[in-house]
A and B are shown apart, each in its own frame.
Chain A
Amino acid sequence: MNWQPSASIATLKKRALLLHKIRHFFAERDVLEVETPLLASSGITDLHLENIECQFTGPGFAKPLNLYLQTSPEYAMKRLIAAGSGCIYQLCKAVRNDESGRFHNPEFSMLEWYRMNFNHHDLMQEVDTFLQQMLACQAADYLTYQQAFLMFTHIDPLHCQVTELKKFIKDKGEPDIASVLTSKTDLLQYIFCTHIEHKIGQETPCFVYHFPAAQASLAKLNKDDLRVAERFEVYFKGIELANGFHELTDKHEQLKRFEQDNQLRQQAGKEQKPIDHYLLAALENGLPNCAGVALGIDRLFMLAEQLPHINEAIAFNITNC
């Protein structure tokens, strides 16, 4: 039996140093470190994210309480912000079912931070600075989702039809996958990760922003162009590193998106998920204008140390934990 860690002790020392640098980055900017529960009474409604669930039994809970290991600390952090915390960050574990591979361990480390009175452009600038300090890389490139598609596929993601996307995938020699993907969003995401992601951000990180409204997730829609959401992602050397939003603050819109998620889940034959009413109550009370981003620490460290597999960036992984 191999009881040894999958990352060497020397590597783990470098990892500890990286965590120290991250905390220093936020201390300098007066951003408060917080901790929120990994176990919560509701999970995520997102079509393509799955919680791992468990139960608590004990004093006061003779009947088992169903709990969800959080896929990200987003909802709880927003409750803190609504309660008046101001700018906050968290370094924590997040857990996702169904995800395991070269860039995925079901339990992974996440850095999530929120800045008050920032929009997505302000936050992209800060993430850019952050990456330059952590990875000693040059300033990032910036592309809108539409620009990235036009540049590498000549498809306009804001105007195209499902048939055009299917034809593109078929012409690339993958008729089978073109026939199993039915929604425009799934097709766009497939083309993005197969034909764009590896062509951008090779020398310096690349920000892709203004995602189609259907992929808004928890971002505000852009007031000047309602076809796009104020959401961004960061790619570097073929790795998806971070995802950020100019945060949705409207309770009714948030409830609508949760319900839309559940409809999509139902259509896909998946179980519908309970909605987080604590978050909705916090939004009703009022969430200040803010932008937030979540960044994968294990992947950041893979990039910093040029590690080929996530298992080499973490002490123990799903195969030896």
Chain B
Amino acid sequence: MANYSTNEFKGGLKIMLDGEPCSILENEIVKPGKGQAFNRVRIRKLISGKVLEKTFKSGDSVEGADVMETDLAYLYNDGEFWHFMNNDTFEQIAADAKALGDNEKWLAEQDVCTITLWNGSPIAVSPPNFVELEITETDPGLKGDTAGTGGKPATLSTGAVVRVPLFIQIGEIIKVDTRTGEYVGRAGK
């Protein structure tokens, strides 16, 4: 993998840091009038998800990380791995629980997820920002409540639990924002 000089730093660039692939979030130049210049960089570690700040001496170079993102459709879980497929080439990739993290609960079959690959292996899976899932369990709503004050918990077909308004019933399909885990509305509206 190529090395990048600090002059190539920009948001989105993937570099290696402490043996872990990272993505640059922000890059700021610090240059005293008569002193050495530095790049002060905010970085996300792609495996642990940690965000940290780091300073580089301008002109230095760092090893690039062979990281790419690809959109793949979720197929199934075999108990150990989650399988995804490229809808154009039909090539399949299996991701482990570590790559899935908390996002397992949003995976519905056929949904297209963004898979981050490092040296060809999946290290992170991002579900679509919005998913539509069926309610499999929730308390019956109280008649007459349409305002949804407070709401109630509902379990979705994937196992995720979200708060929904009181009028939502078992069997309904709802739209959820996976970034916040919040109910958005009934599906198809």
Contacts and interface: CB of A to CB of B under 8 A. Distances in A.
Nearest to B52: A173
Chain B interface bracket (under 10, 10 to 19, 20 to 34, 35 or more): 10 to 19
B57 interface: yes
Contacts of B60: 180
Highest count of chain B CB atoms <10 Å: which of A46, A185, A186, A190: A190
A240 B31 CA distance: 9
Contacts of A98: 37, 58
* Most chain B beta carbons < 10 A, residue from A46, A217, A240: A240
Nearest to B54: A176
Contacts of A100: 29
A177 B36 contact: no
Nearest to A211: B34
A215 B36 contact: no
B33 A233 contact: yes
Interface of B: 28-38, 54-58, 60
B29 A192 contact: no
A102 B31 contact: no
A243 interface: yes
Given A177-B57, A180-B60, A194-B55, A102 B28 contact: yes
B37 A48 contact: yes
A3 B56 CA distance: 33
A99 B34 contact: no
Contacts of A177: 38, 55-57
B35 A101 contact: no
B56 to A, nearest CB: 8
Contact of B35 (A103, A104, A176, A189): A189
B54 A193 contact: no
A101 B54 contact: no
Interface in A223-275: 233, 240, 243
B55 A215 contact: no
Nearest to A177: B55
Interface residues of A, number: 27
B31 A101 contact: yes
A272 to B, nearest CB: 17
A102 B60 CA distance: 20
Interface of A: 46, 48-49, 98-104, 174, 176-177, 180-181, 185-186, 189-190, 192-194, 215, 217, 233, 240, 243
Contact of B31 (A104, A174, A176, A180): A104
Contacts of A181: 36, 57
A99 B57 contact: no
A186 B35 contact: yes
3 smallest beta-carbon distances between A and B, as pairs: A101-B29, A189-B35, A177-B55
7 contacts: A48-B35, A98-B37, A99-B37, A101-B28, A174-B54, A189-B34, A243-B34
B33 A102 contact: no
A174 B33 CA distance: 22
A49 B57 CA distance: 15
Contact of A104 (B29, B36, B55): B29
Given A98-B58, A177-B55, A48 B29 contact: no
A7 to B, nearest CB: 20
Given A176-B55, A177-B55, A192-B32, 16 more contacts: A48-B34, A48-B35, A98-B37, A99-B29, A99-B31, A99-B37, A101-B28, A101-B29, A101-B30, A102-B28, A174-B55, A193-B32, A193-B38, A194-B30, A233-B33, A243-B34
Contacts of B36: 48, 181, 186, 189-190
Nearest to B17: A176
Nearest to A185: B35
B29 A180 contact: no
